[in-house]
Structure 1
Amino acid sequence: MVFAYLAEELRTGDIAVDGAAEYGDWSSHLLTFDQCRPLLAAYCAEAGLPATAAEFVAELKERHRQAAEHLDAGYADNEDLTFAKDGTPTLKRQAGLGTTATAAKLGAEIKARTPERTLIEIASRTAYWLGWHRHFGPASGHGPKLKKPQDRYVLTTFACGSNMGPAEAARHIEGITAHEISLAKNRHITLAKLNKAITDVVNAFAQLDVVKAWGDGGSVGTDGTQVDTYIDNLLAESSIRYGGFGGIAYHYVSDTYIALFSRFVPCGAWEAIYIIDGLLANASEVQPKTVHADTQGQSFPVFALAHLFGFDLMPRIRNWKGLAFFSLLANCVIFHTALDMMEVMRHFLSEGWEIGAEDVAQLSPYLTAHISRFGLYATDVLRLRPDDFDPDLPAIDFTTLTEAA
């Protein structure tokens, strides 16, 4: 109780710690230039950058000159870019290419034949396949002293990933209490462990043949979503931008629809400063080189850092005239849905259908109609070990998409 009262008094400011207003000098943790100089040539060679200041500036100027020439050469045929009389540029919103009739028919049939699943079933089956729950456990590093730890971790992931919470989930799931879910959540699962589990799902998803139709993983989109939290949280604060109280869940979503990485940041921070950190912390086999962001990704220092680290930062420019528990559960759903889509397509092919990679490329694993989300949640699926999944779909030639690109 002493520490509980102490924490509350520190939060309200009724107790102060001597010297707490003095902070360490962050620059003291940086390498000096003399320490960096011997490492410069090797780093520039690995990053593909010129090793001298003069060559570095000259290369950037040349790249800008070539980009300007390319823009000028194509301006006559560019119907999206216009200039006002005063020289103000305007870029029109691009419309989608639409969906072909064959792709629409294929998508409708896949939706009709995809088997109904529950979120618990999806989480459980992917845990059997990938073993992502093995990253969870007590801080001591020893094995979990839990009865049926896989089941407990799957139910905890479902309860927290669906934003239902331990208490509400316990009301809908027979045989488990809110305390059991909370214990696993608070003592066995951390953000670092969650990101390791997410990495397992991302790597498995990247091995599926059908993913080749949606992208190569070379691009990633970043965006933040305000999440309500309890007031007594060190990151919690009022958000002027979103109009709520809590923090920002910042997601990095690949061009293949899978969420690579997630982190929780304060509402008052400019989101651009977290873009590079997330990409460097991404431990999956999918390593994007192009980053798309909204206007919060616009920052001169971050532009410079992105170039030095070998990323192409492409935010939506503001005033240029003048997608963690959730991520794990969502990734399991995307992964399992992609497998269900592949199984349905195998049945179509056995029935004589002709399926082209171009049609599959117009589909998306963001399907929700087959997911049962309401009512009581049965846990008998936790004990059903699924057959091994098949990542290959050799009957469809996805190399045609690469050649077309």
Structure 2
Amino acid sequence: MLKCFLVRFSFFCLTETYIALFSHFIPCGVYEAIYILDGILKNMADIQPDTVHGDTQSQSEAVFGLAHLLGIKLMPRIRGIKNLKFYRADKEQSFQHIHPLFKETIKWELIESNLPDILRIALSIKSGKVNASTILRRLGTYSRKNKLYLALRELGRVIRTIFLLEYITEAQMRETIHSATCKSEEFNDFLQWVMFGNNGLIAENIRHEQQKVIKYNHLVANMIILYNVITMTNVIRELSQEGLQIDTETLGATSPFRRENINRFGTYSLDMEREGPEIEFNIPVI
């Protein structure tokens, strides 16, 4: 299972292998949840994530519903969970210990009557005919009157309720989500460290120039991460050859976001003909 972690403003997809797959520039004040699915669906890399992690603002009921239809598992960090509504499948249902959590009942007839239409929307998005963000924006514009949006939101309530129940009962799931969020925040901090010029501020006023700055920043960060991985791999291989046993716990404490070995203010030469070193992946780990 490949995961994708998302962070606000210039939000990006960071795989669990620490590489940024894509970035998307979002102006300040725009709710990021409607854009969360675009990058994954447009991603043409060999790595194809099927799970999305994000902060609380990267989710909504409609996004949960659409993500489910597209085969994407949405696993955001949830703050203020006590303020979220849980929906029961039937109004006659009663639960011994968690009954007060459930405020309303799912309107299954709304989902059933509009299912063919929301499935067509999902197929159009999957085939690349329309962006997920475009659909969510259009459906949400007149949400109180739009039956498709209401049906998609109702489906999302089902999926999010299931997710919330798993969230409060499974400690391992909460640990995984917390770890994923921390990793994305570490990468965000690393990006800011890489873009040290002008205190990290984007001075350009033109949108496509702003997008260039974001994408080039991610490209440089990815190259530094690759360099760090190669360097750490060589050191681990040398230690292994000297007889030191490397365990998974030790490797789990390492991170490619190292920066003390990088001189940002040096002089650099670009050699387009130079081939990168081979990386040995078969290092024995106990």
TM-score, normalised with respect to structure 2 = 0.50
Instruction: Tell me the equivalent position of 2:31.
Output: 270
| Counterpart residue type for residue 353 of structure 1 | L
- The one of 203, 206, 228 equivalent to 1:337 is 228
Identity %: 39
- Give deviations 1:312-361, integer Å, cap 9, x for gaps: 11122343212411111101111111011111112212322222233212
Aligned residues, how many? 156
| Counterpart residue type for residue 319 of structure 1 | G
Matches within 5 A, 1:3-402: 218-224=2-8, 248-322=9-83, 323=188, 324-374=215-265, 377-379=266-268, 381-383=269-271, 386=274, 388-397=276-285
Tell me, which stretches of 5 or more residues in structure 2 are unaligned? 84-187, 189-214
Instruction: Tell me the equivalent position of 1:184.
Output: none
- CA positional deviation for 1:277: 0.4
- CA positional deviation for 1:387: 5.3
* CA gap 1:302/1:395 in 2 versus in 1, 3 angstroms: same
Q: Distance in 1 between matches of 2:233 and 2:35?
A: 35
Q: Secondary structure at the match of 1:303?
A: helix
Q: Which has the larger radius of gyration?
A: 1
| Counterpart residue type for residue 222 of structure 1 | L
| Counterpart residue type for residue 73 of structure 2 | D
* CA gap 1:327/1:314 in 2 versus in 1, 3 angstroms: same
| Counterpart residue type for residue 56 of structure 2 | T
Q: Secondary structure at the match of 1:382?
A: coil
Q: Distance in 1 between matches of 2:50 and 2:230?
A: 27
- CA positional deviation for 1:392: 2.4
- CA positional deviation for 1:384: 8.6
- CA positional deviation for 1:282: 1.4
Q: Secondary structure at the match of 1:314?
A: strand
Q: Distance in 2 between matches of 1:337 and 1:378?
A: 19
Q: Distance in 1 between matches of 2:42 and 2:18?
A: 19
Q: Distance in 1 between matches of 2:278 and 2:248?
A: 18
Q: Distance in 1 between matches of 2:220 and 2:272?
A: 19
- CA positional deviation for 1:297: 1.1
Q: Distance in 2 between matches of 1:328 and 1:317?
A: 30
- CA positional deviation for 1:386: 4.7
Q: Distance in 2 between matches of 1:392 and 1:308?
A: 40
Q: Distance in 2 between matches of 1:384 and 1:270?
A: 40
Q: Distance in 1 between matches of 2:272 and 2:31?
A: 46
Q: Distance in 1 between matches of 2:225 and 2:271?
A: 22
Task: Check the 8 A contact 1:298/1:316 in 2, yes or no.
Answer: no
Task: Check the 8 A contact 1:252/1:260 in 2, yes or no.
Answer: yes
- Give deviations 1:224-255, integer Å, cap 9, x for gaps: 1xxxxxxxxxxxxxxxxxxxxxxx21111112
Q: Which runs of at least 4 in structure 1 moved beyond 6 Å after TM superposition?
A: none
Q: Distance in 2 between matches of 1:268 and 1:360?
A: 39
* CA gap 1:387/1:280 in 2 versus in 1, 3 angstroms: closer
Q: Secondary structure at the match of 2:260?
A: coil
Q: Secondary structure at the match of 2:7?
A: strand
- CA positional deviation for 1:370: 0.2
* CA gap 1:388/1:249 in 2 versus in 1, 3 angstroms: closer
Task: Check the 8 A contact 1:298/1:317 in 2, yes or no.
Answer: no
- CA positional deviation for 1:289: 1.4
- CA positional deviation for 1:220: 1.5
Q: Secondary structure at the match of 1:338?
A: helix
Q: Distance in 2 between matches of 1:390 and 1:267?
A: 42
| Counterpart residue type for residue 262 of structure 1 | S
- Give deviations 1:341-391, integer Å, cap 9, x for gaps: 1111122123222222332122111100000123xx324x32496554223
